[in-house]
Amino acid sequence: MADYADRARKGMDPGVWDFLEGGAGQERTLAANVHAFDRVRLRPRVLTGVGRPDTVTRIFGRTWTDPVAIAPMAYHTLAHPLGEVATARATGSAGVPLIVSTFAGRTFDDIAEASSSPLWLQVYCFRDRATTRELIERAERAGFEALVLTADTPHLGRRLRDLRNGFRLPAGIEPANLIGTGFSSPGGHALAEFDATLDWSVIEWLRSISSLPIVVKGILTAPDARRASAAGAQGIVVSNHGGRQLDGAPATLDALPEVAASVAGECPVFLDGGIRRGVDVLAALALGADAVFLGRPVLHGLVVGREDGVKHVLDIVTDELTEAMTLTGTRSIADAGPELVRSSAGTEPAAKVARQMFPSGSGLRKEELHGSLCDPVLDTMNFLNEITHHYPDAVSFAPGRPYDGFFETEQIFTYLRRYLDHLEAGGASPDQVRSALFQYGPTGGQIRDVIADWLRKDEGIDVAPESIVVTVGCQEAMLLAVRALIAGPEDVLLVSSPCYVGITGAARLLDAELTAVAERRDGFRCADLAAVIRAERARGRRPRAFYVIPDHANPSGTSIPLDVRRELLELAAREDILLLEDSPYRLVSSGQQLPTLKALDHDGRVVHLGSFSKTLFPGARVGFVVADQTVVDHLGGTGLLADELTKIKSMVTVNTSPVAQALVAGMLLAADGRASELNAKTAAYYSDAMRVTLEQLEKAFPKDEREALGIQWNEPNGGFFLALTVPFRADNTALERSAEEFGVIWTPMSYFYPEGGGEHGIRLSVSYLTHADIADGVARLARFIRSEVHAAASVA
């Protein structure tokens, strides 16, 4: 690297060299970054058996050959006339991303045409937001995949070398992508053009105009890292050379452990500044970075050898990284941890670094835990709960829970007594009755006969009690079914999209492959499922089951018509897949319900999942699964799928609470096994709540206005939920603003799209609100929606 730097310096005009080398921050800050890496020593290990280490990593769903990207640097054309085009060709062949500066010397289209690896755009926020927006739109059209907001540019450092040299950009060197945008600085890089009043709301603004991931560059402290993550940043760059720094500000490597620990795997953390060697890359990874940005050495290579020079620089860094990983016994990027690092004195190895990164002393790194814990789907409910807790006076359309007004405390004792009477009438001795409440009970459940009787009377599902497994809510039923059916890496679970987050989360926890079958505006179509099945088989995968909520689905509230239900059963038989039918909302809807898939199933294609949480007793958390399919072992012996699920349950929850089962059974027995009678009043209440909500929406947004604003909603005939479409991004940031400023809470529909989507959708749950709450909440929601629409229009 030193050779490249020396040759580049000798081949360039001294003023241009100083411009490229000087950076935007203080010169001693830049030197401190390099010196910080010089202080670090990696701890060697021998006889580790590591052959060729794996340097591949994945960021934002894309595979990087190495954990290295090219840092954003202005005017590559100062190094060579081809500029960023030559750099893009080199990074494409190396398989690493290029972050393109706003002040690139070549157009986004030219760079994109030359590149075969990911391109990100470094974003400066100009005083004229229209300029920034136009740049982002140009980059998106060219295929760029992320935005890197340089957060410290409103306070640019003094470029001391340029001041000494009186440097001005040479004639013909200009920001190619700013031509025609209204950017007015004749010098092409003026502080006066940047917005000096930026705050964290700029992330929200960027998200309102672009769907690309946003990475914030210039973070040096844990509080700022947490603020960035809370504001919606999807990545953080530890960097100190974008703007003026305080005397004594930390080098990037020194700041890295604190920043990485503060976000604890919530988003990728990158380091920019001081990387010169492969050992520097490994040191940064060990101290918490997911990848690093390589800067000036790339320009040195560009000066000396154009595209080949850049490629050679990257090869050097990669070879050095591979060698360092081999010598430290590091098999893969994920294996790089603080135990690899010690200070130059050799007296403070991993322990001190670990204490910096993990002040609690636990020593656990989130990336060492199961990958599902970083999946956004597992955070959705926590975020909603936090919002609800922070804004207790808001009207909440978020929880899909039953209305409290139908529960009476004394009923608990009545129903418990009813079940005990049932046991005694069946000949149970006092000891057996006592055991039925106080002991664990059978893993498959002790009220299977009562549930089977209810299914026959209310649902027309005639199954033997032994084909039923009583579970801890329907969520456990999903977990058991997915665990049993998804047997290997080639197996895949299909889900309708949007779909209930519980099945998505269960699949993620079990490392089960999941593929979405997108619903159309008018609902589910079997042809779409058939197409996905064919596509999965063409990929060498085996579709095992399709998860669906046929009645008043969560989140959309839609139901599948009878003819489509029959068509779906025929498709399942033809394609040899199972159907996981989730049915929690049938009994909370008034009127005659369509038959379940299980009631129509004559070929053993449906595994029926059910719950009493939405109907009889939410707090009991009693669900069930009907799994009457025959399972044949290698010796020809047969049993039921329910038996296999019971085995799994014995290793998960052992059994479902006998007291909870007794209460649910007592409720069913009190109504002669007909839950429909118990739910007649509640179903009518929920139907009225849905009717009132639709009426209030109609009142708040008359037809002409909602068409003008681009607002739509569906009209379910039952259940808890309905869905709205709005013309702005209905994400977590918008939700928090809705709660704080307008006092109304809802659920982003994007939560329910396992492969992305739903960014402009809102789910409303109407189940536990009074009519007065609904009227008040819809009025608040209407004010919020109008505010968002008008704000978006003013920005545009």
Those residues with Cβ within 8 angstroms of residue 40's Cβ, 6 or more apart along the chain or in another chain: 253, 283, 341, 342, 343, 344
- Which of the residues 76, 80, 189, 241 is marked catalytic? 241
Tokens of 286: 């060990």
Q: Are 396 and 388 in contact (CB under 8 A)?
A: yes
Helix, strand, coil percent content, the chain, rounded in steps of 5: 50, 15, 35
- C-alpha span between 329 and 344 (Å, rounded): 20
- C-alpha span between 26 and 642 (Å, rounded): 69
> Is the dihedral angle over the CA atoms 485, 490, 495, 500 positive or is it negative?
positive
Spatial CA neighbour of 588 closest among 411, 449, 716, 733? 716
Tokens of 217: 């560059």
Spatial CA neighbour of 85 closest among 291, 390, 306? 306
The DSSP line for 592-654 is: PPPPPHHHH-SSS-EEEEEESTTTT-GGG-EEEEE---EEE-TTS-EEEHHHHHHHHHHTTTS
Instruction: State the helix-helix crossing angle for 473-485 and 641-650, rounded to 10 degrees.
Output: 110
- C-alpha span between 30 and 7 (Å, rounded): 21
- C-alpha span between 68 and 70 (Å, rounded): 7
Query: Cα separations (Å) of 151 from 98, 104, 196, 241?
Result: 19, 18, 10, 11
Q: Which amino acid is at 273?
A: G
Q: Are 119 and 145 in contact (CB under 8 A)?
A: yes
- C-alpha span between 644 and 627 (Å, rounded): 9
Phi then psi for residue 361, to 5 deg, are 85, 5
Tokens of 149: 């907001």
Q: Is 241 a catalytic residue?
A: yes
- Where does residue 643 rank: exposed (0-12), middle (13-18), buried (19+ CB within 10 A)? middle
- C-alpha span between 661 and 36 (Å, rounded): 62
Q: Are 571 and 494 in contact (CB under 8 A)?
A: no
The C-alpha R_g of the chain, in whole angstroms, comes to 31
- C-alpha span between 586 and 597 (Å, rounded): 12
- Report helix, strand or coil for 336: coil
Q: In the sheet where 761-765 sits, what is the strand order?
A: 712-713, 721-725, 761-765, 747-748
Positions marked catalytic: 241
